[in-house]
Each structure stands twice: as structure tokens, then as C-alpha cells.
Amino acid sequence: MCKDMKEKNEKRKDKKKEKAGKKKKALTNETTSVHAQEDAEEVLPLQRFCVELVQREEQMMTEGGLSEEEQTQLRQDLDQLRTEIRDEVQKTFSPDFAPAGLRAAVFCILQQEEMDQRWTSQDSGLVPVWRPNKTLLDHNELLWNMVQERLSLRPLQDEEEDQSKAESAATESGETSDQESVDVTQEVVRLTDQMREDLSYIQEKVSPCYRGDVDILNTYLPLYHRCLSSHLQQLADAGLDDSALYCLLNWANHRYPRDVLAPDVEGKVDSESLGPLLPSDLLVKLTEHYLNNTKSTTQEWLQRALKIEVDSWATQTVNVKQDGPQCSSPLALDVIEVLTSSLLRLRCVGPEQSQMVIDHLDTFLCSYVQAVEEFVKENHSNVTSVLKAQLVCEEQFRDFVLKQEMDEQRRQSCLKSLDALRDCGYCSLTSGIRRKLKELVCGLWTEQWLDGSLPVIDALLDFLDQKLEPLIKLKPSWTQWVLGRLHRDVALRYFKNLVKTKRQSQEQQVNGANRMKEDVEKMDDFFTQRGSTSQWISELLLHVVEILRLQDPDSVQLELVSLVQICPDLSSVHVSRLLQVKSGLSRSSIRSIKRSVEEYRTLELSANQSPPFFSHLRVKWIKMKMSQLELSRCRCYTGP
């Protein structure tokens, strides 16, 4: 009986040993097979050592296990394996890097991770003290230490190659940086360049050493992100000038992570999971500080530029071009350069911040126009040359405003200031001409003018021909505007003389219409030949000619509707006064015409509308003139 029991126990032990042997053989075969698939080279000693340790640890899972002495030795050998794995991984970025050695280390790491998993299913009382071994965790901690070493901060110093890159990066901000800011920028450039180079190296050389289910590139990426973020925070805490701030904000808001991911890396990493490069509270703090500095600097530059310009007027140091009588000033180009530089610097924060620069421009233009107007009022001897120079600046500012992306309300505010500057220049340069206009056109609608014996417009155009020579020698674009504006003023004066006349007989209306048509054509030829493009003024006046010539109420109504269609600023007061000049229209016809015109105003107007014209003739003056004429007629009326 005892003999049978003894034989059974021996058979049971033999079966267990046989079973354990099969497991060891299967593990060895599996190891060799995996390695053969990854690399045709021989299995390295490190792998053999790992397989041996796994086989010895397998015995602990079988009945009988290992002796205490064997377990102690196994633990020591596992510590040695860990050391050899670390040695191979640490060679990753060194000249001694051997892909086969790293593949062997990765194999061992995965084998040890598998043993950790296998022991988790065992009775806790049987698990050895060295399990879990956490070899993969140790590997990842080693990677973190390696990344920190790769991106270690160094004392700011002047190295030729890095400084060249830093100066190039600083140039993007539009600023000239001092040594401190160049040093900071150079360190940021060095860190980001190192990160870019390392990630490309990992993708090309290191990734093939890791098994497909180990995404080593996306293991390294968050480590580099974390390290770079930490270093940039340290740089920010040190205190930065505007150029260095620009560099940090530009990387945080725009360049990262795009500019640290080479094309061969970009599509293989999960960059969206990285999060911001700088903490939100620090980013807000840096942004606010940078915006305040930029605002203060921009204001200072603009104020200085305007002061220098105003001082030059007093000292009569206006620049005169050598190719003609055109005057110029550097003010607009200097200011535009300042604003462009500010816009470029604010690009690192975001496009919405560009509105701050436009606000500065709007404020500057208001101050600028006010300074010009005050200078004109003081009646200096050089006012003409100063104004001509400022009108060149006005055109440069206008071109800049129209090209910028800005809120439409702010754009219109800037253009309103520029319109005021243009008006100031026009009114001052043409003051003598405009004062003479009233005197020259006073003969319109008189009997001598109607019968052709008083050539009012001929005399006016002869006068203009003598006075326009200094104006038409300005820049072509401004000359064109001046001629158009002067054409409009002459036409307004002509129309004003018409509506302040008394009621005309039908014969006077027809004769006046014929004379007016001739005058309109003469004025149009005169201004067109000198560069004006304001033919629309003649078209408006020719409609007025037809209103005077026509006597049929329906025809007059159609002509007025046409006039309102292309010139909607023809108000009801203008219409009333124009109709009062005509005789032959009954009161009911006049009311019907006016009603039709007002009804038409509510309809969709033509897209081919002219610039404002009639609105420049004050309605208050017309009402007063109409009241005077009504009173005059009442006084002349003696009754039946």
C-alpha cells in the first residue's frame, strides 16, 4: 500500500516536471520565433539571459518551486537584467546606439511585463517580493530623464549659430532686440529645434526597434511637450522684454506644435492631445503684459511722429521733390511703418487684437487733422506747401486704411478724418477761387444772360484756367479729386442761383434751359480735359435742364422721378423750390408731382446712384428763400 502511494507521488512529480519543461520549451521557441520575425540576426545574450530568468521563474509557479537560495539569486539576476535594459535604452541618443541592442531590451521589457501579468492571477501568498517588476514603468521614467537631459536649460550665452537663428526669429516681431531678449529667443529656438530633431530621429531610427503595439513616438511626444512647457515657464518667470515675450507668445499661440513636427512625424502623432504649451493663467498674464507694452509703445511712437511733423511746419522744413513742385512729408510712411510693425507683433496674440492698432490709428488721425486745421487757421506763410505735403500723406493713409481688415464702423471713422483732412486742404488751397465764384455767377438767370449778351460761364472758366495751374500740378490722383470737387462747387453755385430766382415765364424757362445746357457742356469739357472724372455732375444738371424745358406736368414728373432715382439726396424741399421757378403748372399739378416723387422714394432705388450733390445745398437756406419769395408775392398782391 505504501509502495503504491509512493509510486503515484513519483509519477505525479514526473508529470509536473514534464509539464514545466514543455512550458519552458514553448517559451523559448516563442522567444526565438518573435525575434526571428523582427530581425534576422542571432538572439543576443541579453535576450537569452531574459529567457533563462523567465524559465527559472516559471519553476516558482510549479509545485516545489525554487529554494530560498535560488530565489535570492533570481532576484539578483533580475536586478542585473534591469540594469542591462537601462544601459541599452540609455544608448538611444548616443553614438553607441545599436538598434539590435535596443530591440533586445524592448523584448526583455515586454517579457517582464508579461510575467507581471501572469503573477497577478496567482495566490497573493505565492507572489514573490519582486513582482510586479514594473519594468515598462521604469523604462518610461528613464525616457523622461533622457528627455530632460536632451532639453536641459543652459546658461544664456552667445553662440554664433544659435544667435543667428534667434536674431532671425526676433526680426519677425519687427523689433530690434537687446542682448537679453536675443539670449531668451535663442534658447527657445534651441529647445524647439532639439525637439524637432529628436522626434524625427525617434521616428526614423528608434520606432523600428519597438514592437508594433508599443507606440514609442507617442510615448516620447508628451514627455517632450511636458519638458518644453516647463522650460518656457521658467523663462517666463525670469522676466522678459517685448521681443522675448513675442517669441514665447508666438510659439504658444501659433507655431506649436506645428513647427516642431517634421512632415515624416506630423501624421503619426496625436498632437491634439498635448494641450496648450503654456498654462492658461500664465498665457493670460503674458498676453496682458505684452498688449499693454505694445499699446504704450505704439502710442509713444505715434505721438512722437506727429510732434516731429508739426515742428517741421513751424520751421518750414517741408520736403520738396526734385522732379517737380510736389511737396512731400515722411509722416504717413513713418506712421504706417509703426502700425505695420505693431500689427505684426500682435499677430502672436491673435488677429482680434489688431483692432487695438486700428484704434490707435483712428485716434492719431483725429489729432493729426486737428493739428493741420489749427495750422491753417494761423495763416502761416508756408501753409500752401504744408497742405500739399499733407494731401500726399492723406492719400497714403487712405490707401492703408482701405487695405486693412477692420471693423467697418472703425474704417468709416478713419475715412471720415481723412475726408476732413482733404476738405481742409481743398478749402484752403481753393479759398480764393471759391470766394470769386459768387461774384462770377451772379449774372446767371438775368435778362442779359438769357439773351446771350452776358457770357457768365465763359468768364468763369477763363478765371479758373488762370487759377488752376498750381493745383493741377499736384499728384494726379489728388488733382483729379480737386477738379471733381471744384466742378461740383461750380455746379452747386449754378443750381443755387437758379432756385433763388423768381418764377420764370415759359419763354424764359425754355431760353434758360437752352443756355444752361450750353453752359453745362462747356463746364464738362473744361474739367474733363484737365483730368476730372465727374461727368455725373453734368448728367444731373442736364436733368434739371429738361425739367425747366418741359411744360407738360406728366413729363416734368417723369423727369423728376428719374432725377431722384440717380440722386436720392434731392429732397422734397429741393423739388418744391425747383417747381416754384416754373410757371404754367397749377397747384394741383405741383402737388401731384411732389406726391409721386415722394411715393417713388419708398421704392427700391437704382444701383447706379451718384455721389451726394443736392445735400450740399442747405435746405434751411432754401426754406428761408422760399418764405421770402412767398412774402414778396403777398405784398405785391392787391386783391380783386
Task: Give the pLDDT of residue 628.
Answer: 56
Residue-level pLDDT at 323: 45
**How far is CA 419 from each of CA 112, 210, 361, 481, rounded to the nearest angstrom?**
80, 70, 15, 12
User: What digits encode the pLDDT tens for the residues 229-282?
Assistant: 999 999 988 778 888 899 999 999 989 999 999 888 888 888 888 889 999 999
Of 432, 426, 439, which is closest to residue 390 (Cα–Cα)?
A: 426
- How far apart CA 359 and CA 290 sit, in angstroms, is 17
Other beta carbons less than 10 A from residue 508's beta carbon: 19
* 3-state helix/strand/coil string of 479-522: HHHHHHHHHHHHHHHHHHHHHCCCCECHHHHHHHHHHHHHHHHH
According to the model, what pLDDT value does residue 296 have?
Answer: 92
Q: How far apart are CA 268 and CA 193, in angstroms?
A: 19
Contact yes or no for 431/462 (Cβ under 8 A)? no
**Domain locations in the chain?**
27-149, 177-278, 284-427, 430-636
Residues 6+ apart with CB under 8 A from 114: none
Element (H, E) at 327: strand 327-328
User: Is the separation of the CB atoms in 570 and 576 below 8 Å?
Assistant: no
Q: What is the dihedral of CA 450, 452, 453, 458, to 10 degrees?
A: 110
Q: How far apart are CA 580 and CA 560, in angstroms?
A: 14
- Cα 206 to Cα 106: distance, rounded to the nearest angstrom: 11
CATH-assigned architecture of domain 284-427:
Orthogonal Bundle (1.10)
> Given this model, what pLDDT does residue 19 score?
46
Q: How do residues 596-617 score in pLDDT, each as one tens digit? A: 888 887 665 555 678 889 888 8
The pLDDT value given to residue 326:
63
- Say if CB 225 and CB 257 are below 8 A apart: yes
Output the pLDDT for position 623. 57
> Which candidate, 528, 429, 523, 531, places its Cα nearest to that of 480?
531
Return the pLDDT at 429. Answer: 87
The segments of the chain whose pLDDT lies below 70 read 1-42, 61-65, 122-125, 154-182, 316-326, 472-474, 602-608, 619-640
Question: Which class in CATH covers the domain with range 430-636?
Answer: mainly alpha
For CA atoms 460, 462, 463, 469, the dihedral sign is positive
Q: Tens digits of per-residue pLDDT, 349-380?
A: 877 777 888 899 999 999 999 999 999 999 88
Q: Which residues pair with 464 in a beta bridge?
A: none
**Integer Cα distance of 167 and 179 in angstroms:** 10
Q: 536: part of which helix (H) or strand (E)?
A: helix 535-549
The confidence score (pLDDT) of residue 27 equals 45
Neighbours of 387 (CB within 10 A): 23
Going 222 to 227 to 233 to 236, the CA torsion angle's sign is negative
Number of neighbouring beta carbons within 10 Å of residue 557: 20
Apex 376 CA angle, 399 and 324, nearest 5: 55
284-427 and 430-636: same fold?
Answer: no
Encode pLDDT of 164-202 as tens digits: 454 555 444 444 444 555 688 889 999 999 999 999 999
All three cell numbers of 339:
502700425
Q: pTM (2 decimals)?
A: 0.71
408-429 and 383-403 helices, crossing angle to 10°: 160
**Which of these, 60, 58, 66, 70, lies nearest to 26 by C-alpha position?**
58
Instruction: Round to whole Å and give the CA distance between 477 and 474.
Output: 8
